[in-house]
């Protein structure tokens, strides 16, 4: 499955390079939903909430009521996770909260593991948290087996290539696939249809942002390979 991304910052749809530098702005969330109408799911990340710099709650709720959306960014309480589900989110994505076991247990209990995804984003080989601003001492491969009971899938971003249109690290995703049977979604630097097809052959979904917004990947072509998978 190919999952287009809507990242929100300051009330606008944006794309960042490695989670820091804003590279471009897209249309309004409703504009992007129209463009992404052919895809079965949308990924929505509130970057302001992830970085602890405010929120875009109204826009998140707007998207969640109009599309099958997996929503993340600053989900650090059971109340927020439950609130996103009540607003219409199909699944909730947690990142930083996954490293606080009591809190993760509380969030999983509030929404159910089947509605919860855990984000394991890697930079320099280690998982990064708090909007990719702090590094942990763990690798994603190490963490996945410990986190499986709490969720139904993992969103794994290769931050080193995020937004750079230089391709992603398929070997990293192969290693992740080898340690779990849970659903995996790849993100970070995915630039070509060949990469998407390779991920699909591994049974890994592709969350795509910058390559769509810059036109490197054609939405009509992507829609054709979403279902059935690449031939």
Q: Which positions are annotated as active-site residues? A: 7, 121
Is residue 124 helix, strand or coil?
Answer: coil
Other CB atoms within a 10 A radius of the CB of residue 92 amount to: 25
Q: Any idea what DSSP says for residue 90?
A: S
Q: Look at strands 134-135 and 126-129 and give their pairing.
A: antiparallel
- Tokens of residue 5, six digits: 């991304």
- Tokens of residue 188, six digits: 């970070």
3-state SS, 138-204, equals: CCHHHHHHHHHHHCCEEEEEEHHHCCCCCCCCHHHHHHHHHHCCCEEEEECCCCCHHHHHHHHHCCE
Q: At 70, phi and psi to the nearest 5?
A: -95, 130
Nearest-angstrom CA–CA distance, 44 and 165: 20
Radius of gyration for the alpha carbons in the chain, expressed in angstroms and rounded:
16
């Amino acid at each position: 499955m190919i999952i287009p991304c809507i990242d929100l910052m300051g009330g606008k749809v944006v794309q960042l390079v490695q989670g820091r530098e804003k590279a471009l702005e897209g249309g309004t969330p409703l504009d992007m939903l129209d463009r992404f109408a052919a895809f079965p799911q949308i990924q929505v990340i509130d970057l302001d909430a992830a970085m602890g710099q405010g929120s875009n709650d109204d826009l998140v709720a707007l998207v969640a009521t109009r599309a099958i959306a997996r929503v993340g960014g600053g989900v650090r309480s059971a109340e927020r996770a439950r609130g996103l589900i009540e607003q219409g989110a199909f699944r909730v994505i947690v990142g930083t909260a996954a490293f606080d076991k009591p809190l993760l247990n509380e969030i999983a209990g509030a929404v159910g593991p089947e509605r919860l995804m855990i984000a394991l984003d890697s930079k320099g080989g280690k998982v990064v948290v708090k909007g990719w601003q702090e590094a942990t001492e763990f690798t994603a491969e190490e963490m996945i087996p410990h986190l499986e009971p709490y969720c139904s899938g993992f969103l794994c971003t290769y931050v080193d290539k995020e937004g750079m249109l230089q391709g992603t690290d398929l070997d990293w995703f192969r290693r992740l696939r080898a340690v779990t049977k849970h659903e995996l979604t790849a993100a970070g630097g995915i630039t070509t249809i060949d990469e998407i097809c390779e991920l699909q052959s591994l049974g890994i979904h592709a969350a795509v942002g910058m390559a769509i917004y810059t036109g490197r990947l054609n939405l009509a072509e992507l829609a054709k390979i979403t279902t059935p998978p690449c031939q």
